[in-house]
A and B are shown apart, each in its own frame.
Chain A
Amino acid sequence: MRFAVLVFPGSNCDHDAYFVIRNILNSSVDFVWHKEHDLSNYDAIIIPGGFSYGDYLRAGAIARFSPIMESVIKEANDGKPVIGICNGFQILVESGLLPGTLMTNKKIKFLSQNVTLQTETTNSIFTRNLDNGQHLTMPIAHKQGNYFADENTLKKLQDNDQIAFTYAAINGGNPNGSVLDIAGIINEKRNVLGMMPHPERASENILNSKDGIAIFESMIGAS
């Protein structure tokens, strides 16, 4: 399985994601610059965290119009797995591949801390190795992670089992004010995942948690 890690000006978790795929999972991975146009040679796409274009206008709003995004939208619509982490999630909602918006955290603070996630669905290529309700510890590092969507959208997310992860009601619970404690969602076709927490920063024991690796292992079908 061949991964693409997209790189925008201001991406800063691209190397973390690359390291996990290449050095921990021994899979094939390339960096792909945002001015490229073709992702057809890849089996999965990672949109990493960071501060693309300095978060100008709104986080993810400018990156959404980078040339590579046309290809991301095409591949996603064709069913290819796409995972957006943190800024990657923000780019995915700005691009319309995922519904809703990531607003400024309720307390207007940049949050850099560990959170406990609760697995809400195992019915996706990203979560099939997890158990329903399983708790995962990994860090968040964002100022715009407060998920918001209107009532109709939330009902659809619930009815279609599209909520992938919530902030568990332990260790401080929901850190940013996200509606329904949402930390990550998938699209209707179940091949696009966006999440604010960083599984790539919690994939080795030396980082105090390797709970995140299960998401990437799910993607490559390993156990």
Chain B
Amino acid sequence: MKAKIYISYKEGILDPEGNISRKALNNIGLSEVNDVRFGKYIEMTFNGVSKEKAEELTQIACEKLLANHNTETFKFEIVES
């Protein structure tokens, strides 16, 4: 099983990298881009666990370590690896 985890800043959290990248995208002619938010993508694989167990473990991993609950949100999907 493989977890595909997406971590992003919560609404309202300042994202300086996103802001600067948005300006650069505007500067190269993509004037339609009005917001860029950076985040993290993490893949995590499991040996010999069910999909339900993988979901449970991924939830714990995100809550305890991978995401910062003060500033970040996360979502994930579990796929056959």
A: residues with CB less than 8 A from B are 57-58, 61, 65, 94, 100-101, 103-108, 146, 148-150, 177
Q: Could you list some 24 contacts between A and B, CB below 8 A?
A: A57-B65, A61-B65, A61-B68, A65-B65, A94-B68, A100-B70, A101-B68, A101-B71, A103-B13, A103-B71, A104-B16, A104-B17, A105-B16, A106-B14, A107-B16, A108-B16, A108-B17, A108-B20, A148-B13, A148-B14, A148-B70, A148-B71, A149-B70, A150-B70
Given the known interface contacts A57-B65, A148-B70, the answer about A103 and B17 at a Cβ–Cβ threshold of 8 Å is no
Query: Closest chain B residue to A94 by CB distance?
Result: B68
Which B residues are CB-close (under 8 A) to A101? 68, 70-71
Number of interface residues of B (CB under 8 A): 10
Which A residues are CB-close (under 8 A) to B68? 58, 61, 94, 101
Which A residues are CB-close (under 8 A) to B36? none
What sequence of 0s and 1s flags, for each residue 5-22 of chain B, a beta carbon within 8 Å of any chain A beta carbon?
Answer: 000000001101100100
Give the Cβ gap from A5 to chain B, nearest Cβ, in Å. Answer: 25
What is the bound-complex CA distance between A13 and B38, given in angstroms? 31
A/B pair count, beta carbons within 8 Å: 31
Q: Is the CB of A177 within 8 A of B66?
A: no
Give the Cβ gap from A33 to chain B, nearest Cβ, in Å. Answer: 22
What is the bound-complex CA distance between A177 and B14, given in angstroms? 10
Q: Is the CB of A57 within 8 A of B66?
A: yes
What is the bound-complex CA distance between A65 and B65, given in angstroms? 9
What is the bound-complex CA distance between A94 and B70, given in angstroms? 10
Q: Is the CB of B16 within 8 A of A106?
A: yes
Which A residues are CB-close (under 8 A) to B20? 108
Which B residues are CB-close (under 8 A) to A149? 70
Query: Closest chain A residue to B42 by CB distance?
Result: A57
Query: Closest chain B residue to A179 by CB distance?
Result: B14
Give the Cβ gap from A146 to chain B, nearest Cβ, in Å. Answer: 8
